[in-house]
Structure 1
Amino acid sequence: MSTLVAIAYPDKSTADEVVATLSRLQTEHLISLEDAVVVTRDEKGKVKLHQTNKLVAGGAVGGALWGGLIGLIFFVPLLGMAVGAATGAATGALTDVGVDDNFMKDLGTKLESGGAALILLVRSATTDKVLPEIAHFGGDVIQTSLDNDAEERLRHVLETREAATA
């Protein structure tokens, strides 16, 4: 079961930095994300969703593998891989999985003008290694599906900007 975590930041650039850090942690297999979206609210109150395309890359890789396998059968592996990658990326981009868009837009209306929120759907994480990496960005926890103890620990880490060792 995945865990929903929504953290507010003062601006989009901070949220984007956290996304970059989480992307690196994902390549190190310290966190597995199902969805990651940055929600912003501009000065006019308009809410925008910025998909991070974490899942599209997986679709392209899977498509390339299947395409390469099918290409080997028909003796054109490179063409098969190219078609498979394109199909996998397109399928991943068109498939809306993860956090509900209406929920994210509603959450965005609660942000301060110019603010941003990072909404994550976390499949799994090595918290003792992930928390120190994101702690120095700070942020305010605005919603989670964590249990009370885990949510309180996350709030504490982000407020003090240093990872607790507990």
Structure 2
Amino acid sequence: MSDLVFIAFPNEQKAEEVRDRILGMQKEYLIELGDAVIATKDEQGRVKLNQMVNTTAAGAASGAIWGTLVGLIFMAPLVGTAIGAASGALGGYLTDTGIDDKFMKEAAGALSPGSAGLFLLIRKLTADKVLADLEGVGGTVMRTSFDHEQEQKLRDALAGHAAAPQPAPEKTDTAG
């Protein structure tokens, strides 16, 4: 089961910096992401999504390749390329993987103009190491699907507060 996290930042640069840091942790196998999207809200209140993967462009590229191959068979490679690119782009545009775009735009509506938010779809994570690496980066937790305890640990880490160590249980002397 995946968890959703939405963190607000004062600007897009800070959100991008944190996303890059989290993507670096993914390369170290500390976290596995399904999606990581930055939402920005401009001064007019419009929300723009900065996806990790542009499915429209990817679809157009693969469609162009397949269209060229099919076009070569029928002796019309340019026509095949154009038709393949167009159909691939349409297929990519209609394919929405990860976090629902409509949900992100609605949730990002709560951002202040000029600020940004980072949406993370987390499949797996090594919580203690990820939280330690995110300690003090800033940001405000807007929404999560974590339980209350995990959410509070995330809030504390972003704010730069290390989790207070639990005192060791006192030993009682039963001899005597």
- Structure 1 and Structure 2 fold alike (TM over 0.5): yes
Please provide the CA RMSD for this pair: 2.4
Unaligned runs of 5+ in 1: 60-89
Structure-2 residue corresponding to 1:114? 114
Structure-2 residue corresponding to 1:164? 163
Structure-2 residue corresponding to 1:11? 11
Q: Contact (CA 8 Å) 1:6, 1:144: kept in 2 or not?
A: yes
SS of 1:44's partner is: coil
How far residue 121 of structure 1 moved from its aligned partner, in angstroms, is 0.4
TM-score, normalization: structure 1? 0.72
Q: Which runs of 4+ in 1 moved over 2 A?
A: 90-95, 162-166
TM-score, normalization: structure 2? 0.68
Q: How many aligned residue pairs are there?
A: 133
Q: Contact (CA 8 Å) 1:128, 1:165: kept in 2 or not?
A: no
How far residue 20 of structure 1 moved from its aligned partner, in angstroms, is 0.7
In structure 2, C-alpha distance between the alignment counterparts of 1:93 and 1:29, rounded to whole Å: 30
Amino acid at match of 1:29: Y
Residue 150, structure 1, aligned to residue 150, structure 2: yes
Structure-2 residue corresponding to 1:133? 133
Unaligned runs of 5+ in 2: 59-88, 166-176
Aligned pairs (5 A) from 1:1-166: 1-53=1-53, 95-159=95-159, 161-164=160-163
User: Structure 1 or 2: larger helix share?
Assistant: 1
Structure-2 residue corresponding to 1:76? none
The structure that has the greater radius of gyration is 2
- Summarize the Cα distance change of 1:92–1:146 in structure 2 as closer, same or farther, 3 Å threshold: farther
